[in-house]
């Protein structure tokens, strides 16, 4: 890495701590939710051009038909664009994106990047709820701005708890993953916990800077309160069913118990993935 590249990275990391993360996200959230024709059209067109959004796979292909940028950003895909692996032993990818990391949870620690790790207890936010995942398996999937932003079930299960955890809103990318200790366990997040045929499963929806919101099928759009909020549920969801969505890009972390499943060998850090493909299987 050149001196200029290193300096640019250091400035970016320092800026993460200086920027008023929550205030900026609230401002962006208001713009993203605006149904003013000129505002939403300008934002959608600029975003579409910058990230090369492929509208041909969207259920609604005309960007002008979306009521707001939020509706555009969380757009549904056409029927059949994404297939869900139906094999009985398969565990499917919860979202379109890129594998940040995946593997074994080592004595309660989840590998983040380049010597950075964080504890499963901090990620889940409750020692008892986190206990089944000690020494289990994890996969971290990063959803970039250009990706489809709905998160789906990796495996059929019953949603038993959701735990909203307030936190910081660092950007979520390779640079911050390598330089911000405990990134995914520090950012605001919604922890979704399930009973499945493979035991306990967690899907953690992690917020990030200028993410204007997280939504789940059980809680609706999260309204940040600044305090931890635990809710109990009994909601059955099939493999591949929609679990939630992000209003701007972020990350989903999937956790399983020890000795219940393994990830497919071809997947590693930086692997491109799509929702519904076989990411792992039961053992």
Closest by CA to 83, choosing from 239, 202, 229, is: 239
Contact criterion met (CB below 8 Å) for 193 and 200: yes
Q: Where are the alpha helices (DSSP H) in 19-111?
A: 21-33, 37-51, 69-73
Q: Which one of the listed residues 25, 147, 149, 152 is annotated catalytic?
A: 152
Closest by CA to 252, choosing from 115, 126, 153, is: 153
- CA–CA dist 132, 135 (Å, integer): 8
Contact criterion met (CB below 8 Å) for 69 and 32: yes
- Tell me the three state secondary structure of residue 138: strand
Q: Which one of the listed residues 25, 68, 90, 250 is annotated catalytic?
A: 250
Does the annotation count 152 as an active-site position? yes
Does the annotation count 96 as an active-site position? yes
Cross-strand pairs, 247: 213
- CA–CA dist 116, 282 (Å, integer): 28
Helix/strand number for the chain, H first, E second: 8, 17
Please report, for residues 141, 192, 223, 270, the alpha-carbon distance to residue 234 in angstroms, rounded to integers and kept in the order given. 26, 12, 21, 35
Q: Which one of the listed residues 25, 96, 100, 149 is annotated catalytic?
A: 96
SS3 percent helix, strand, coil of the chain, rounded to 5, is 25, 35, 40
What positions carry a catalytic annotation? 96, 152, 250
């Amino acid at each position: 890495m050149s001196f200029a590249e290193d300096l640019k990275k250091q400035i970016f990391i320092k800026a993460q701590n200086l920027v008023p993360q929550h205030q900026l996200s609230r401002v962006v959230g208001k713009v993203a939710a605006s149904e003013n024709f000129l505002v939403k059209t300008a934002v959608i067109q600029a975003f579409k051009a910058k990230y090369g959004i492929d509208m041909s796979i969207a259920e609604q292909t005309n960007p002008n038909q979306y009521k707001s940028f939020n509706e555009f950003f969380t757009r549904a895909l056409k029927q059949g664009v994404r297939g869900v692996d139906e094999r009985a032993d398969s565990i499917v990818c919860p979202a379109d994106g890129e594998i940040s990391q995946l593997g074994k949870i080592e004595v309660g620690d989840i590998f983040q990047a380049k010597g950075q790790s964080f504890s499963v207890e901090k990620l889940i936010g409750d020692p008892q709820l986190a206990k089944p995942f000690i020494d289990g398996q994890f996969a971290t999937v990063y959803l970039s701005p250009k990706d489809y932003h709905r998160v789906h079930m990796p495996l059929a299960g019953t949603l038993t708890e959701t735990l909203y955890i307030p936190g910081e809103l660092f950007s979520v990318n390779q640079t911050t993953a390598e330089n911000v200790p405990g990134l995914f366990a520090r950012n605001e997040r919604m922890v979704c916990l399930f009973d499945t045929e493979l035991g306990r499963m967690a899907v953690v929806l992690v917020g990030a800077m200028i993410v204007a919101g997280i939504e789940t099928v059980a809680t609706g759009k999260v309204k940040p309160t600044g305090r931890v909020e635990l809710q109990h549920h009994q909601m059955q969801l099939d493999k591949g069913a929609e679990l939630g969505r992000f209003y701007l890009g972020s990350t989903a972390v999937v956790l399983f118990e020890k000795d219940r499943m393994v990830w497919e060998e071809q997947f590693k850090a930086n692997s491109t993935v799509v929702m519904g493909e076989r990411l792992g299987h039961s053992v």
